[in-house]
Each structure stands twice: as structure tokens, then as C-alpha cells.
Structure 1
Amino acid sequence: MDFKRTHLFQVLLLLGCLIVLGVKVECQKGSWSFSYVAPSCRAQSVSIAEFGGVGDGTTVNTEAFRKAIEHLSEFSETGGGQLYIPPGRWLTGSFNLTDHFTLYLHKEAVILGSQDLEDWPLIPPLPSYGMGRDAPGPRYSSLINGYNLTDVVITGDNGTIDGQGAIWWQKFHKKILKNTRGYLVELMYSKDIIISNLTFLNSPAWNLHPVYSSNILIQYVTILAPLDSPNTDGIDPDSCSYVRIEDCYVVSGDDIVAIKSGWDEYGISFGMPSQHIVIRRLVGISPTSAIIALGSEMSGGIQDVRAEDIQAINSETGIRIKTSPGRGGFVKDIFVNRMTMVNMKWAFTMTGSYGSHPDNKYDPNALPAVERISYSNIVATNVSVAGKLDGIANAPFKDICLTNVTITMAAKSKKYPWNCTYIHGLSNAVYPQPCSLLEERPAEGDAFCPSPQELDTTEENSLQHCSYSSSH
């Protein structure tokens, strides 16, 4: 596949001015300037080159990133700081961000993840997981990290962050990693976050992982990974609130967007749900996984997720709910509206027997509650199975609603387009006719499935237009 041809949001210009997705860049001989949106504009700006950075693709710049960000942290309370990454290939190990901070990449800038595992220090497992997902014990830090931060922007004019993940994938497949792989970006216990106008490539595992955080905007982002790369999820909001994911294009070896909230007894104990999440104008390709996945780690609960104007191409499934006995928690108030799918194995899947437990301490009687799931205005073509919806015998999935759903089956599709167990729900104007557990009823009025209530936006960003310029 030629990703440059299929990259819906990339704009290439050789000369002149570039205006892309909220970022404006003006290029003249001897000077440059750019602007972007952020919760607040920065009083201080420096280049990584001013702190000894060398963009030759071979020099390790971890110390340069550390020194530059440490310097800018001095301005956290007096207007904030911005780190500019100029054209070049900037190799680095893991580094940490600071408060009231912008990381800005020029369109010809590439941050490269070091292939020396020692440049990714070990950190404790997440408390809501109890252990690493790949292995017990500590996990590798992510390439870009943030802890207890406020007002963080990671942006550019389509610069690139490349994790060079092949070495990690090889070690994972050979089962020689003793610790869990890191991600490209992980922001913990933070708020007022923007990640925008960048391309993320070849993450060791998940790409963007906000966790225990709130008020997050991920916008105009491209994420690319080989289709056979292990666990390279695109965007994973994890125990997060008030998240917006908009206008993104993701090609992945795993789920495109995976909403999570902790694993079994650890997630139940931590008790922080993912909630108030909006996903819109997302395009995804994942032949082995879902465009939008809820779980499987959902023990803190997932609620109030709104997805609209979603495109799924050449993928395993469009919407997938994953859980099992032992998870506890809940998945409820999920609303999907206006979704198109092309070349799919399944349009919809739900499973109550996903398994995959962190240890043997989980309570098998901790049953998840899955309820109030609405899918409306869906068109899917060349689909092998319309729906595989399997709940739990002692905890059936309930209040599932499908309306105005048209699925065109593939020439070699399965004999039975729907497979349903332990679910309860309603349907209207669904073709092919769904399973009998989704009782068909006529619509009463314009809306058949429930619609979400108006989202409280008091915690959303109040954004400013910020600009910066420099002469050479």
C-alpha cells in the first residue's frame, strides 16, 4: 500500500506558503514563522539545536531534549515554554515534558526513537493494570512522557515522530522481552492536552496513550504502522474524561481507537472510568482488529461514548465490545451514528468471553454490565458476517438498539449473517434481518434508538491562536 497516496490529510508543497488543518507556516529565505492553536501561548521559545541537538539521524539527543525542557520548565508559571524541532532527524531516547509547554515539529523534522532499549528506562506498571500487558513487573517508559501536567501541546505542521518499532516487534514475537513495551506518547494524571497536526510511525506498541487524564483534544493526526505489527493501537484513552478525537487517519496492526479503564481487580479497585468521549471524522484500516474497540480492559467502566462520521476500510470489525467475567465494570451509553464500512469480516462484534487476565487473583463473579448500546445510520458493503454478538449467560448485554442499518454481504459470506447469544435489544430498518434477540419493531417518530444528551463542555479547551517567528 502507498501510504502517501492514501494519506487523506497530508498536504505537500514544494514552495510558498502552507496552510494545513489549523497550522499556518510561512516560508521565506532566511526566516520562518508558524502559528497554531493552544490553551495558552508561550512566553519563551527555544530550538533543540540551541541545547546541543544534532539532527543527523545518528547522534543521540536525549540529553539535549532533557536540558531544553528543563530550561523551559523555569517558565511554567510565567507564560510557559515552547521547544521547536527544526528540519532534521533527531534521534533520542525517552524524555519527559513539563507544564504549560509546547513541543512543535517543523514539517521536515523527524523525532526518531532510539533502538537501544537502555534509552527507554523502566517504570512501574500502571496501578489500574497491576502489571505490564506484555509481561509482569516494570514496563519500558514511552518515547514522550508527561506526569501530573497541565496545558501540554504536541503539534507541528505534519512533522513526524517515528518509534522505529521493528526491533521491539521482533523481540516481542521471539518472546525475549522481559518487560512491557513503551508507547510513542503517554501522558498520565494530566489535563488540557492537545496532540495535533503530526504523523506518528512505527510505535513499539500503542501510539497515543492518555491515561488518568482529562480535557484532551487529538486532532488532524496520522498514525501508520505495518498491518502485521503487534499491538500498535492508534489512540487509547484510558481512564480519561472529556476526550475529543477528530479528523484522524490511522492504519494499524491492532485497534484504531481502543477505549480502556483498567484490568480486572486492579481496574475495579482504581475505579476511574473513561467517559464523555467524542470520536468523529475518523478513517481507519485494521485487517486484524477493530476501528473502535471498547475494552477489553474496562474494569473501571466506560460510559458516554459518541462516534459519528466514521469510515472503516479493509478491517476486521467496525465496532467491538470486549469483556469477560472477572472484568467487572460497565460499558454503557455508547452511541454510533453515520458509519460506513467497506470490506469487513464483521460489521459488529461483542464478546463476553475475551479472557486475558493479568493473574489468577481476579474474581470470576465480577461480571461486567453492558447496556444502552445504539448503532444508527450504518452502511456496510462486502461483509462476511453482519454481527457476532455474544453476551454472558449470567449477565446478558441489554438495551442494544440498531436502526437504519444496511449491510451488503460478500459473495462468499457466512450462511447465517447474524450470530447472537445472551443479548437483549431492538431493531428497526436493519438488513439483513437481525437475529431474533434484537426484536424488530416499527419506528415511532423520527428517532428509534436513543440519542445522547447534550455533552457538558465546561471542561473543554478555550483555545488561542499562537504564533512564533525567527530569523536565520
Structure 2
Amino acid sequence: MELRQNHTRIKVINIILALFTVILTDSRNSVSGRKVDHYKEYNFEYSSTSCRAHSATLTDFGGVGDGKTLNTKAFKDAICYLSQFESDGGSILFVPPGKWLTGSFNITSDHFTLFLHQDAVLLASQDENDWAVIKPLPSYGRGRDTEGGRYISLIFGTNLTDIVITGDNGTIDGQGQTWWDKFHKGELQYTRPYLIEILYSENIQISNLTLVNSPSWNIHPTYSSNVIVQGITITAPVTSPNTDGINPDSCTNVRIEDCFIVSGDDCVAIKSGWDEYGITFGMPTKQVFIKRLTCISPTSATIALGSEMSGGIEDVRAEDILAINTESGVRIKTAVGRGGYVKDIYVKGMILKTMKYVFWMTGNYGSHPDNNYDPNALPVIQNINYRDVAAENVTIAAHLEGIQGDPFTGICISNVTIEMAQKANKLPWNCTDISGISSDVTPQPCDLLPDQGEGYTSVCNFPTERIPIDEVEVQTCACKTKVLTRNVY
């Protein structure tokens, strides 16, 4: 009897254990696939002209960094939310590691910082529907690629104060191949977008980022003042069309420093409007300092002035420049109908390796927005100074072509050594409609630049007074933020 009772107890216990196992298994199955929220904390420092009091992360607004989910709305919502802090210490939007596909989005808040983690990649959408079409710039009258409007830039802003776009060398990938193909096939309805464009703004910093494969120009500050572009790496295939690196346009007080650019067009191009539109708008680019620039661009210039320069360009300084396998060192591009001026240009300390030209100026760069330009609008090119240049494997030392009846004047070239390539042109200097002087230049310049004798550099002196943007210093800022992550159990 007792044995039978014990046997019954054991069966009951086994049944209870089995039921418990089933209940436990069902409980586990019921939470299988459940998303559990976790937060990863990021503490980082960054160099900035302004520190911020408030922060948020893109994932707080539904951002998904899988390279497939479109994050345009997440960027817009995040910036809209952070705008409430623009008068309360400003804000920073942190983009964490991941691949963040997005269409164009606008910065709409003052005192705002966009920060990309070193493992964050912004992927520009290749769907044209994700890019709004906006009016041409008033100083251009039309788009650069086509008549009429243009696609808005990936990161765009207007009428802003104190904007910082920076990172820990995070990446912005324009995924430009489809745009380049449409350009070559003549299939573009509007001008291609740029990666970053800020208009009518002041106190802008763009720094410590890698920009790759832009559909067209990479960085385009326009109608703005107090602009710093620092520590930027820009790369695109050297055959890609119009992938200019940094193009300050009708801007005052610009500092470009410590940048590395591989491009299908000019590494730095300084502009101020196109023909009659630029003349009417009348906003020059002035007080620009370019320092420690490295450039590779086999078909274009290290630094270009123009060709759109109808609002005027003045007081541009460049030093410590390295160019490798680049078409020209410094190029001035203008034409009849441009009007405007390029004056007070100072360049020193260039090292050039494998170049077609060292110096190139032309008054015959005849691209026009339309046929309404004034043929009597002649540009003024004067006081152009180059010194302390060493170049090797050069095909043509200089091509200096002014305009008949409108010569380029005040050209000064000193302390320049150019080693010509084995298959160099027999005539290393080609000069027409220019005037100026030279000193201690090899090979000997053309007769229109008479040699003043060794050591004569007083006219070619580099300015010693600082421009206002040189007084602006960056500081070390700290940020602490949490990033939402989800794990599946």
C-alpha cells in the first residue's frame, strides 16, 4: 500500500515538473523575438568654435543605420526638436556608428552642431524624389549643369548663425555615380546636388570629415562670412565631372586649412557669380586664407580663381601647398563678359610634382550662362604674386593669356625653380597681354616679366597683417550622450 502511494506521488511530481517545463518553454517562446531597449553611452570630445549645452542622437527620432532604411525624416525631426535650444546654449545632434541612408535635409536652427562618429556614414539617396528642386542662385541666374533650377544639397541651410558640421572623421558618401552617368548622357533635368551648401549665414565651421563621391561640388559656402573649413578629406574618381572640393562663393573671411583633396575638378575654387548675374548681385569673395592644402587633380587646378568671378575676388592668400599629378598650381579663369576683378592674390610655399602647368591665367574661358552678357564687361586682373615655388616634372612652366586691350597687370613671380619634364614644351613660358616682373626664376620667364635681379622680392612680399578669420580659435568641447540600441531575445 505504501509503495503504491509513493509511486502515485512520484507520478504526480513528474506531471507537475512536465507542466512546469511546458509553462517555462511557452513563457520563453512568448518573449522570443521581443525587442528589448538598451542604451550605449558615448563620451567624446571635439574641436569647435562653439560648445553646446544640449544633445540628442539620431536614434532617438527613429533613425536606423542599416544602409537601407531612409532616415530623412529622422534628421528633420531631430533638428526640429533641437531648435528649441538655440537660445539656451545650443545643441548637438550625434550620428552614431552605422550607415544612415538619407535624402536632403535642412539645418534650420542657429547654434547647432551636427557630429558624425568615426564609424558613421551618411549615404546620400540615389532617388531623385528625395531631393527637392530649388531656384538658381541669384548670382548665377541658372543652374551650372542645366538651365533653370537645381537639386538642393544633401545638407543645406540658409540665414543661419553659428553652425558646425563636424565629426571624428565620419563619412558623407554622395554615391555620385548615377549622377555622373546622367550628366554624361545629358539626362539631367536640373543641376546636380552638392554635399554641403550653406547660404546667407555667418560663423560656419565644417571640419574633421571625409567626403566621398559627391554628385558635383562638395562644400559650397555662399553669401556667407566667417567660414572655417578644416581637416577635411575629399575623394572622388579623378574622371568624375565637376567634383570640386571646396568652393567659397561670394564669401568674406574664409579659412581653409589642413585639407586633402583628390578630385575630378579644382581642389579649391574661389567664385563670386556668373556674368551679368554676378555683376548685378555684386558680392565679392575676399579675405580668404588657404593653408596646408594637398591636392591631386590631373585635369584641373590646385587653386582656381573663377571662372565665375563677376562679383570680384580680392585678398586671397595661400601657403604651404602640395600638389601631385595636378594640371596646374594656381589658375585664374575669366573672360570677356565676366566683368568683376581678381586682385591682391598672394601665394607662397608651393611644392608641385608632375604638373602640366605651374602658372596658368586665361582671359578666354568663354562659358556663359546665356547670351545676355555684356561684351563690354571686361575683368580686371591685377597684383598677382607668387613666390617660393619648387616644381618638378613640368610640361609647361606658364601659360599667361590676358585679354587684348585689357591686359593682366602687376604679376610678380620670385624665387621659383621649375624642373621641366623630358617631354616638356620647347617654349616653357607663353605670355600674351600681361605685364609684371620676375626675380630668381628658372627657367627664365618671358620678356613681359622682366628679371629684376636675384633677391628682388619686395613687390612679391606676402602680407604680414592677419585677416579677421585668423583670430578665430577652436576649443575642445565635451559631449555625453546615450544611443538607443535594440537586441532581440
In the TM superposition, residue 118 of structure 1 has moved relative to its aligned partner by 1.0
Tell me whether 1:112 sits opposite 2:129 in the alignment. no
Which secondary structure does the structure 2 equivalent of 1:440 belong to?
coil
- 1:66-465 paired onto structure 2 within 5 Å: 66-97=76-107, 98-442=109-453, 447-452=458-463, 454-457=465-468, 460-465=471-476
For 1:370 and 1:448, locate their aligned partners in 2 and report how far apart those are by CA, in whole Å: 16
The residue type paired with residue 464 of structure 1 is Q
What is the CA-CA distance between 1:460 and the residue it aligns to?
A: 4.8
Q: Which amino acid aligns with 2:147?
A: P
1:65 to 65, 75, 82: 75
Paired with 2:149 and 2:230, the residues of 1 have a C-alpha distance of 31
Q: Does 1:39 align with 2:39?
A: no
2:480 is matched with 469
Aligned pair in 2 of structure 1 residues 194, 393: CA closer, same or farther (>3 Å)?
same
Give the total of aligned pairs: 444
Q: Alignment partner of 2:182: what SS?
A: helix
Corresponding residue of 2:35:
none
Q: Is residue 215–residue 460 contact of structure 1 (8 Å, CA) maintained in 2?
A: no
- Look up the match of 2:28: none
Instruction: Say whether the 8 Å CA contact 1:428–1:448 is kept in structure 2.
Output: no
CA distance in 1, matches of 2:322, 2:403: 29
Query: 1:221-270 CA distances to partner (integer Å, 9 max, x unpaired)?
Result: 10000010000000000000100000000000000000000000000000
Amino acid at match of 2:54: Q
Tell me which residue corresponds to 1:9. Answer: none
2:30 paired residue number? none
Instruction: Confirm or deny: 8 A CA contact 1:299 1:330 kept in the other structure.
Output: yes
Contact 2:318–2:346, Cα closer than 8 Å, also in 1: yes
Residue identity over aligned pairs, in percent, reads: 60
Superposed CA offset, 1:186-244 (max 9, x none): 00001111111100000000000000001011111100000100000000000001000
| 1:55 matches 2:65 | yes
- Shift in Å, 1:39: 2.8
What SS class does the counterpart of residue 463 from structure 2 fall into? coil
The CA RMSD over aligned residues, in Å, is: 1.4
Ranges in structure 2 where 5+ consecutive residues have no aligned partner: 1-38, 484-489
In the alignment, is the contact (CA less than 8 A) between 1:215 and 1:459 conserved in 2? no
Structure (1/2) with the larger helix percentage: 2
Point out where structure 1 has 5 or more consecutive residues left out of the alignment: 1-28
- 1:440-465 CA-to-partner distances (Å, cap 9, x unmatched) read 11256663513325133278535432
Tell me, yes or no, if the aligned pair for 1:233 and 1:256 is still in contact at 8 Å: yes
Q: Deviations over 1:296-316 (max 9, x none)?
A: 000000000000000010011
State the AA in 1 paired with 2:63.
Answer: G
Separation in structure 2 between the aligned mates of residue 164 and residue 328 of structure 1, nearest angstrom: 36
| 1:67-95 CA distance string (max 9 Å, x none) | 00000111111111111000000000000
Contact 1:390 1:421 (8 Å CA) reproduced: yes
> Which TM-score applies when normalising by structure 2?
0.89
Question: Once the 2 structures are TM-superposed, how far is the Cα of residue 40 of structure 1 from its aligned partner?
Answer: 2.2
Contact 1:324 1:352 in 2 (8 A): yes
Q: Distance in 2 between matches of 1:99 and 1:88?
A: 26
> Which whole-Å CA distance do the structure 2 matches of 1:456 and 1:411 have between them?
42
Distance in structure 2 (CA, Å) of the matches to 1:297 and 1:399: 21
Distance (Å, rounded) in 2 between the aligned partners of 1:126 and 1:75: 30
> What's the CA shift for 1:109?
0.2
- Secondary structure of 1:74's partner? helix
Q: What amino acid is aligned across from residue 314 of structure 2 in structure 1?
A: Q
**Cα distance, 1:43 vs structure 2:** 1.6
Give the AA of the match of 2:364. S
Amino acid in the other structure paired with 2:100 = W
- Contact kept? 2:395, 2:420, Cα under 8 Å: yes
Q: Distance in 1 between matches of 2:152 and 2:469?
A: 32
C-alpha deviation, 1:35, in angstroms: 1.2
Q: Distance in 2 between matches of 1:71 and 1:338?
A: 47
Letter in 2 for 1:366: A
Q: Contact between 1:192 and 1:461, CA under 8 Å: does it hold in 2?
A: no
TM-score where L is the length of structure 1 = 0.92
